[in-house]
Amino acid sequence: MELIERYLQSVKFALPKNQKQDIVAELAEDLHSQIQDQEAALGRSLTQEEIAAILKKVGHPMQVALRYRQPRYLIGPQVFPMYLFVLKLIWMCFFGPWLAIGIALDIFVAANHSRHYQGLTAILDHFWLAAFTNIVVVTAIFAIIDCYQPDGLWSNWNPLKLPKVRDVNRIPLSSSVSELAWYGIISLWWMGAFGFPSLTGWHVTPAPLISRFFFWPLLILLLGHALVAAVNTFRPWWTPRRAMLRAALDALGLLTIGALLAICFTGGSFVSVNSTQLSSTEILDVQKWFTWGWVVMLLLWVEIGYLVGFVQDARRATGRQPFRVCVSA
Amino acid sequence: MANSNGNMDLFENLRGELRRGCLILAVLAQLRIERYGYTLRKALADDGLEIDEGTLYPLLRRLESQGLLVSEWREEEKRNKRFYRLSREGENILKRLLVEWQEINASLEKIIIKD
């Protein structure tokens, strides 16, 4: 019977503290009754293996013990969807852009050989710490909400106050205004209003190939998008004509940026760098870094954006509903 | 093979859900007569409703904490055993549950025969 004692000891370990003795005594009685019945049927004592088989059938001690505990969770099913939504929102609006800007900054500063810059590692160190703290704080807040749900939280609601069904053809004002600001600023920059980002002693300009062949296509693309965004701000509904115009711009964007990517992948550069502080090899390195920085951070992202936008706008232009996964595109 | 295992898991889950409520009813009904855990398991098994220790004892504790059962430790055949029986409240609840069960059963039979 030593095996039974060993088994019960293992079960006892994970049992609720105030019920340990009681549960173990009851389980012991059941096991002894089972053994007694089998011994009576066989007319002999059970072997260790036969007792082990009974215990095996009862289940792993931890599994048996856990059945005596109430299911526990930090955030219950009623609050969990809102918890997940808040986490996604924070990541999309805060940590995603932080990471993107961090990586872009890293590429940019690496290209400029700054001695004061600590590199991507420093950014990521802060990033992981902030991300971890964020998850912990949000989880703690929702755990408290879950624990102290006020009475009537789920019964005092009015069906008439539910949000209206989202119209996929309505253009959110925030989206139009942010697009207008974005394309407006980039258009002005492309026309030379702000100059190319550079450091003291450096002169960075678009490479001759870019200025010659891409100035007008990119300007038309940027101004076209700014114009559509401006119209969308005041007339926030997609019409087939406007969707068609934007689909055409998306197609132009796809082709233009595809051509820019082709230049990069065939060894060309997007920028010309002049500096008295750098050797010609270093200048080539910087040009290469600038070019790949743009490719990684902007062009691949924009290319995918144009592709998604083209599909969605083409559907709107032909009177079909855009796919719901990317309704904002 | 994976699909077959998936179907087995799904079946076991659904079977578990189907049995859960029925087991409560069966346990309450059996405990109109006082029994201890092992004899209760045997009585249920004799009537075709097998239930393992890991399911029965936590269920008995829960029903007792809800006030539907009362229990006491007593010595029988030189061993201490915990005897359970229905409380007054348990009897009332059982009556109402049986009515509910019969209604559900009648509805299900109609639905199944229709199909």
The 10s digit of each residue's pLDDT in B73-114 is 998 888 899 999 999 999 999 999 999 999 999 999 999 887
B9 located within any domain? no
- Average pLDDT (A254-258) is 86
Q: Are residues A131 and A180 in the same domain?
A: no
Q: B57, A30: Cβ pair inside 8 Å?
A: yes
A18 and A85 inside one domain: no
* Whether the model pTM is above 0.80: no
A103 and A221 part of one domain: no
Could B54 and A59 be called an inter-chain contact, meaning their C-beta atoms sit closer than 8 Å?
A: yes
Check B82 against A25: CB less than 8 A apart: yes
Same domain, A227 and A303: yes
As a whole number of Å, the CA-based R_g of chain A is 33
**Average pLDDT, integer, range A77-98:** 83
| Residues A217, A307 within the same domain | yes
Contacts of A20 in chain B (CB under 8 A): none
Do A139 and A271 have their domain in common? no
State how many domains chain A has.
3
A254 falls within a domain: yes
Which residues form the domain of A150?
74-155
* Exposed/middle/buried for residue A32 (C-beta within 10 Å: 0-12, 13-18, 19+): middle
Confidence of residue A329 (pLDDT cuts 50, 70, 90): very low
Structure tokens at A268: 């060309």
Could you tell me which residue, B104 or A282, shows the higher pLDDT?
B104
Residue A162 within any structural domain of the chain: no
Mean pLDDT score of chain B, rounded to an integer?
A: 90
Sign of the alpha-carbon torsion through A179, A184, A187, A192: negative
Q: Cα separation of A27 and A61, whole Å?
A: 11
A161 domain residue, yes or no: no
Share of chain A above pLDDT 70, in %: 86
Read out DSSP for A58-95? H--HHHHHHTTSPP--SS-TTTHHHHHHHHHHHIIIII
> What chain A residue is nearest to B40 in terms of C-alpha separation?
A30
Q: Is residue B98 part of a domain?
A: yes
Q: How many CB atoms lie within 10 A of CB B84?
A: 23
Does residue B44 sit within a domain?
yes
- Residue B17 placed within a domain: no
Q: What pLDDT is stored for residue A116 in this prediction?
A: 47
Query: Position of tokens 């904490």?
Result: B65
Q: Are residues A220 and A108 in the same domain?
A: no
Whether B82 sits inside 8 A of A59 (CB atoms) is no
Q: Would the pLDDT of A216 be above 60?
A: yes
Using a CB–CB cut-off of 8 Å, the residues of A that contact B are 19, 22-23, 25-27, 29-30, 32-34, 57-59, 63-64, 67-68
- Is residue B5 in some structural domain? no
- Do residues A146 and A78 touch, judged by C-beta distance below 8 A? yes
**Residue of B39, B61, B72, B84 to mutate for A, most A C-beta atoms under 10 A:** B61
Written as one letter, the residue type at A237 is W
Q: Do B81 and A29 touch (CB under 8 A)?
A: yes
Q: Are residues A246 and A302 in the same domain?
A: yes
Last residue of a domain, one of A100, A122, A155: A155
Q: Is A151 exposed, middle or buried (0-12, 13-18, 19+ CB in 10 A)?
A: exposed
Q: What is the mean pLDDT of chain A?
A: 82
Query: Which of A8, A18, A67, A68 best probes binding to B when mutated, by most B CB atoms within 10 angstroms?
Result: A67
Does a structural domain hold residue A181?
yes
Q: How confident is the model at residue A112 (pLDDT cuts 50, 70, 90)?
A: low
A8 belongs to a structural domain: yes
Q: Is residue B57 part of a domain?
A: yes
The count of domains in chain B is: 1
Q: Determine the average pLDDT of the residues in A249-277.
A: 82
CATH classification of the domain holding B56: 1.10.10.10
Three-state SS for A186-220 is HHHHHCCCCCCCCCCCEEEEECHHHHHHHHHHHHH
Domain containing residue B78: 22-114
Mark which of A21, A43, A66 sits at the end of a domain: A66
Whether pLDDT at A26 is above 90: yes
How many C-beta atoms lie closer than 10 Å to residue B2's C-beta?
Answer: 6
Q: Are A101 and A301 in contact (CB under 8 A)?
A: no
A290-327 pLDDT per residue, tens: 777 777 766 666 777 888 888 888 888 888 888 765 44
Pair (A182, A319) in one structural domain: yes
